[in-house]
A and B are shown apart, each in its own frame.
Chain A
Amino acid sequence: MCGIVGLFCKTQTHRHELGRLTEVMLGEMGDRGPDSAGFAVYDAGAPDRTRITVLAEGLAVDWGPIAADLEAALAAEVTVRAVHDHAVFSTDGDGRAARQWLIDHVAGATVLAYGSQIELYKAVGYPDQVAERYDLASRTGTHALAHTRMATESAITTAGSHPFATGADTCLVHNGSLSNHNRLRRFLEAHGESFQTENDSEVAAGYLSWRIRSGDSISEALVGALDDLDGFYTFAIGVADGFAILRDPIACKPAVVAETDDWVAMSSEYRAIARLPGAADADIWEPEPARIYSWSLAA
């Protein structure tokens, strides 16, 4: 089943409580998937710096020496802070290179996301607990995506939890299952993407990253996804300055969108949206199959 939520603050009004509102939405979707949960939050960040969120589940990692080694490898400044079993690196060097270095050099760790604005946390367990452990409620920012998982296509592991991010500031949550992910993973690997799990949704994230890295806008990348991804999906996608939704042409997997002057929210079910301020007066609709919806901070 799985539950997905996304909240995109069009104005300043709710950015100070983005995390709290996202936590409320995610909690409402707990019934749809109690196996694991995760969230990605986009904030303004610092210009010219990349943050890389790393998960080291069950490992006792001393992050300081790793940051020092990464600093040497990048020939750029690196800082790091630990958040339970996650660590967030920050560098003014090449973020994509830093991501790959961490994948290659931190045994057992998973790089969850990188970019100037995104931080991403995930864990096995009920969504309320995951949100609390990583203090989702205190986070501020422009937009957030979250997911609560009922595992079908791969095992219940933290690394197999959503959201998935493989490109800079690009992340995806998925309700559904893809049927051509193995072939597509091989194709993408041959075109420079690297994957860290056997999960089908990570392939979808990698696909979008590849298209965006090749020069596509998020909307163009999603047009390609309609042709190249086979299976059932409702996706919510975050990029640095925007938010998008896509459902497959059959549209078995639920989605509802609500929009006010201040925010756009999407969820698997309306009850997550019902808890938002102003929901009673929002425009509410079901996204149509095979139609790309996107919102941009620039607009």
Chain B
Amino acid sequence: MRGAVRSFDLAEVTRRSFNQALHDAADGASFEVINPRGAHAVACGITADIDVVVRGSVGYYCAGMHQQGRVRVEGNASTGLAENIMSGEVHITGNATMSAGATGCGGLLVVGGNSGARCGISMKGVDIVVGGNVGHMSAFMAQAGNLVVCGDAAADLGDSIYEAQLFVRGDVESLGADCVEKEVRPEHLDTLGRLLAAAGAAAGGADPGDFRRYGSARRLYNFTIDDVDAAEAAARAAGGDHR
């Protein structure tokens, strides 16, 4: 932490005034917030290079639209943790519920415990490291970035995935449509090593060599010739010409 830490008690001040203080802060400022008691949208919309520590569990959309700074939550987080994160880091020590890191475009999200359903849904470049397990349909329609799961992944991992890379150390209950297991090459071990190191204690000393890699089979990218036939047949059935 750099500079004096400004402390906010959400039992005393409004969440809005706290978030405004973060938005007004200059690079290098440090903040602490106590008594979040499950409040929504805590530390949302940070754009400066600041540090925020949240002591307690938060509600929906904590650290949403995050840029540059670092948010650390000592507790659990509900739906939409670090939704649409652009850069910087969001790190929680506990569990996250649904849709952690949804649509994230960059930066790093670390979940120390488990992450619920649809972790990394539509991720577009964010790196996510989960110390525990992820719920069903994680990385649904993922487009870019890395999802690293030190525990297990529930059903339909990577359904309709585009190009993100998924690494799972434990069991995968099932893979979603167009998601397949892929070879782990040296560059993937490098990526894993870098992300596990960045996650620190949350990764529990996991060895990059223990992970399996999953990604897109790229069968859903384009119309195949079969799709064209199907579309033409449908058009003919509808009385038109689809060519």
Contacts and interface: CB of A to CB of B under 8 A. Distances in A.
Interface stretch (A180-188, A212-220, A222-230, A282-290): A282-290
B136 interface: yes
Contact of B117 (A251, A269, A273): A251
A72 to B, nearest CB: 53
A226 B154 CA distance: 19
B117 A289 contact: yes
Nearest to A247: B117
A55 B59 CA distance: 36
A284 B38 contact: no
B98 A273 contact: no
B97 A284 contact: no
A270 B76 contact: yes
Contact of A285 (B57, B79, B95): B95
Interface residues of A, number: 17
A256 B97 contact: yes
B189 interface: no
B242 interface: no
Contacts of A272: 38
Contacts of B94: 284
A286 B95 contact: yes
A271 interface: yes
**B39, B57, B76, B154: residue with the most chain A Cβ atoms closer than 10 Å:** B57
A94 to B, nearest CB: 45
> What range describes how many residues of B lie at the interface?
10 to 19
Nearest to A249: B136
Contacts, number: 46
Given A254-B98, A269-B78, A271-B39, A286 B57 contact: no
Contact of B37 (A274, A284, A289): A274
Given A286-B116, A289-B117, A289-B136, A270 B78 contact: yes
Nearest to B77: A270
Contacts of B136: 251, 289
A286 B98 CA distance: 9
A58 to B, nearest CB: 36
Nearest to B60: A269
Interface of B: 37-39, 56-57, 59-60, 76, 78-79, 94-95, 97-98, 116-117, 135-136, 154
14 contacts: A251-B98, A254-B97, A254-B98, A256-B78, A269-B78, A270-B76, A270-B78, A271-B39, A271-B59, A274-B57, A275-B37, A284-B57, A286-B98, A288-B135
Interface of A: 251-252, 254, 256, 269-275, 280, 284-286, 288-289
**Ranked 8 nearest A-B pairs via Cβ:** A271-B38, A270-B38, A274-B37, A274-B38, A286-B97, A286-B116, A251-B117, A270-B57
